Amino acid sequence: MAPRVLISDKLSDAAVQIFKDRGVDVDFRPELGKDKDKLAEIIGDYDGLAIRSATKVTPKILEKATRLKVIGRAGIGVDNVDIPAASAKGVIVMNTPFGNSITTAEHAIAMMFALARQIPQADASTQAGKWEKNRFMGVELTAKTLGIIGCGNIGAIVAERGIGLKMKVIAFDPFLSPERALTIGVEKVELDDLLARADVITLHTPLTEKTKNVLSAEALAKTRKGVRIINCARGGLVDEVALRAALDSGHVAGAAFDVFGVEPAEENPLFGHPNVVCTPHLGAATTEAQENVALQVAEQMSDYLLNGAISNAVNFPSITAEEAPKLKPFIALAEKLGSFAGQLTDSDIQTVRITYEGAVADQKIKALTSAAIAGLLRPALADVNVVSAPSIAKERGIVVEETTRAAEGDYDSLITLSITSDKYERAVSGTVFADGQPRIVDIKGIKVDAEFAPSMIYITNEDKPGFIGRFASLLGDAGINIATFALGRDRQGGDAIALVEVDGPLPAEVLEKVTALPHVKQAKPLTF
Ligand SMILES: NC(=O)C1=CN([C@@H]2O[C@H](COP(=O)(O)OP(=O)(O)OC[C@H]3O[C@@H](n4cnc5c(N)ncnc54)[C@H](O)[C@@H]3O)[C@@H](O)[C@H]2O)C=CC1
Ligand SMILES: O=C(O)C(=O)COP(=O)(O)O
C-alpha cells in the first residue's frame, strides 16, 4: 500500500507533484494548520505530515497520530513541533535547513534599509499626498557596524551581504569557530561588546532557553544610542515591552520585526510606534524559497517513507539512499541482538555497551545503537522504535556506551552488545553473512552459529552426554519439529548452550519439561 501524506500548511504545489511522482498518496489540506480539532480527527490516517509554521504539532495531535512516521517541516524552525513528544512516539522530524536561508537573509537586509531610510513611513506619507521631504532624514549604512547575534546559515549570509555593503560586521555566536569567523569575514565578539559597538543589531538564532530575551531590558540598556534592531528569527528573542520603552525614550532609533512573541500578532507592544516596521512572518515568503523548501521536504519525506533514507532529521542521524540498503541488515542485526538480550533480562538494565568491530564501525553507528536499544526495550515496552528508543533509555537512566574498533577475529563486521543489570552481565555478538542474514555468533563468550527465527528455545546446560537425545525425544513426543539446532560450549564438560529453532510456538508445559531435563540450567523461549 502506498504511504499517505497530509499537507496541512500552505506549501507550494511543487510538493504535491513530487509526492505524486514518487508514488506517495497526498492530501493537500492547507486549511488544517489552523484547525487543530479537524487535524486531530484525521491525522490517524497518515504516514507523513508536511507542514510550515502554522500547524502546531502538539502531544495531543501526536497521540492521535497512530500511523505517523515522519513530520516534514518545509522551512527551518521546528519550534511548532513538540520534538520530545514526537521522538517518544518514534516519529522522525525533518526540516529543510537551507532552502529559505538566502530569502530570509535578504528580508533582514530589506528591513535594514527600510529602517535606515524609513521607506514604509515615507511611502505611506507620499501616497497620502504629503510630500514630507524634510521629515525623512535617513542614515547611510556604509562604514556602520552591523552586529549579528547568531551567525549560522542565515546569519552568515547576512554577514556576507553586510560586508558587500561596506559595513563592519561583528558577530556574537558562542558556537562560531574562529576559523569560520575568518572565512565569513566577521569579527567574533562577546555579546556585551556587540551591544556596545553595533549601529544595527540583527538576530539570527533559534529560540532556546539561552536565547530567550537575549535582548532584555538590561541588554538594551547596553546598546549605543541610536541603535536599530532587526528580528527576522523568532519572537521571544527580544523583550518587546522593554524595546518599546527604549523606542519611546529615543534610545533605540528604530526596530524592524518579522516575528513576534505571539503569532499571528494582532496586537503587540511595538505596534503603532512611528519608527517600527513590521511584516507578518514573511522571512521565507518568496516564490524561490517556497519552491525550494516544498520540493526538498517532499523528496526527503518520500525517501524516508519509501526507502528508509533519512536526511535533515532533527531527532535521528542521517542515512543516505545509498547507505540505507547497506545499513538495513545491520539495523536488523542490532535490533535482534538487543531483542535477544531484552528477552533474557528480567531485572533493571543499568548499562548497555555496544562494540562495533571491523567494517560495521564505519557505518552510521548511532542508528545501529538506537536499533539495538529499541530491540532491548521492546520486550518490556511495546511502543518503542529506533527513534524513540534513545530518549526512553535516557528517561530510564540506562547508560549507553558505544565503542568502535578494527576487526580482530573471524568476521568482517561484528557487533557485540553487553548489558549490565543489578544482577548480572550478559554479552551477545552477531554478524551479517554474505546472504544479508543476521546471525548470532557468540553468547557469553561461547561460540555458536545461529540465525534468528520466529520461534526459538535458548538453553544453557552442563556439557554432559545424553542431553541432546533426551531433548530431541521430548520435543518429538510433543509433536514439535526442530528446524535448526546450534550448539556451543566453553570447554569439554563445561558450560554449554543450545539455540534451537522450532516450527510453531512452544507450549508452556513443553518448556517446563525441557527445564526439568537433567543438566539443564535454564530454558527460555525466544521470538524474533
Ligand atoms: N522569519 C522567517 O520566516 C524565518 C526565520 N528563520 C529562523 O531564523 C533562525 C536562524 O536560522 P538558521 O540561520 O538557519 O539557523 P542555524 O542553526 O544555521 O543558525 C543559528 C545560529 O545561532 C547560534 N546560536 C545558538 N545559540 C546561541 C546563543 N545562545 N547565542 C548566540 N548564538 C547562538 C548557533 O550557533 C547558530 O550558529 C531560526 O530561528 C529560524 O527558525 C528561518 C527561516 C525563515
Ligand atoms: O523556516 C522558518 O523557520 C520560518 O520561520 C518560515 O516560516 P513559514 O514557513 O514561512 O511559516
Q: Is there an atom of ligand 2 within 6 Å of 75 CB?
A: yes
Residue 335 has pLDDT above 80, yes or no: yes
How far is Cα 74 from Cα 52, in angstroms, rounded to an integer? 5
The whole-number pLDDT of residue 498 equals 94
Distance 85 CA to ligand 1 centre (A): 22
pLDDT of 240 strictly over 80: yes
On whether the CB atoms of residues 391 and 355 are closer than 8 A, the answer is: no
End of a domain among 444, 466, 481? Answer: 444
pLDDT in tens, 242-251: 999 999 999 9
Q: Distance (Å, rounded) from C-alpha 150 to C-alpha 76?
A: 14
Distance 247 CA to ligand 2 centre (A): 27
pLDDT band (50, 70, 90) for residue 53? very high
Q: How many domains does the chain have?
A: 4
Rg (C-alpha) for the chain, rounded Å, is: 30
Both 135 and 86 in a single domain? no
User: In this prediction, does ipTM exceed 0.90?
Assistant: yes
Average pLDDT rounded to a whole number, residues 14-24: 97
Q: Map grid coordinates 514573511 to a residue.
A: 282
Q: Which residues are catalytic?
A: 234, 263, 281
Handedness of CA 496, 501, 507, 513 (dihedral sign): negative
Residue 219: all three cell numbers together: 541588554
Neighbouring-strand partners of residue 351: 399, 420
Give the pLDDT score at 391: 86
Domain that holds residue 196: 101-278
Q: Percent of the chain scored above 70 by pLDDT?
A: 100
Longest distance between any two alpha carbons in the chain, whole Å:
108
Residues forming beta bridges with residue 254, ordered by sequence position? 228
d(CA 315, CA 387): 7
Whether residue 362 is found in the same domain as residue 485? no
Mutate to test the pocket of ligand 2, among 12, 52, 101, 260 (most ligand atoms within 8 A of CB): 52
When the pLDDT of each residue in the chain is averaged and rounded to a whole number, the result is 94
CATH number at residue 385: 3.30.1330.90
pLDDT at 347: 76
Q: Give the per-residue pLDDT at 319.
A: 87
pLDDT in tens, 378-423: 887 767 888 889 988 998 889 999 999 998 888 999 999 999 987 7
Residue 491 has what pLDDT? 92
> How would residue 317 be classed by pLDDT, with cut points 50, 70 and 90?
confident
Query: What confidence tens digit (pLDDT) does each residue in 135-144 have?
Result: 999 999 999 9
Co-location of 271 and 150 in the same domain: yes
In terms of domains, do 40 and 93 share one? yes
Q: Model confidence over 435-480: pLDDT tens digits?
A: 889 999 999 999 999 999 999 999 999 999 989 999 999 999 999 9
The reply to whether 220 and 250 lie within a common domain is yes
CATH of the domain at 492: 3.30.70.260
CB atoms within 10 A of CB 98: 15
Rounded to the nearest whole angstrom, what is the distance from the C-alpha of residue 194 to the centroid of ligand 2?
27
Does residue 271 share a domain with residue 167? Answer: yes
**CATH code of the domain in which 4 resides:** 3.40.50.720
What mean pLDDT comes out for the span 268-291?
98
Q: Are residues 73 and 118 in the same domain?
A: no
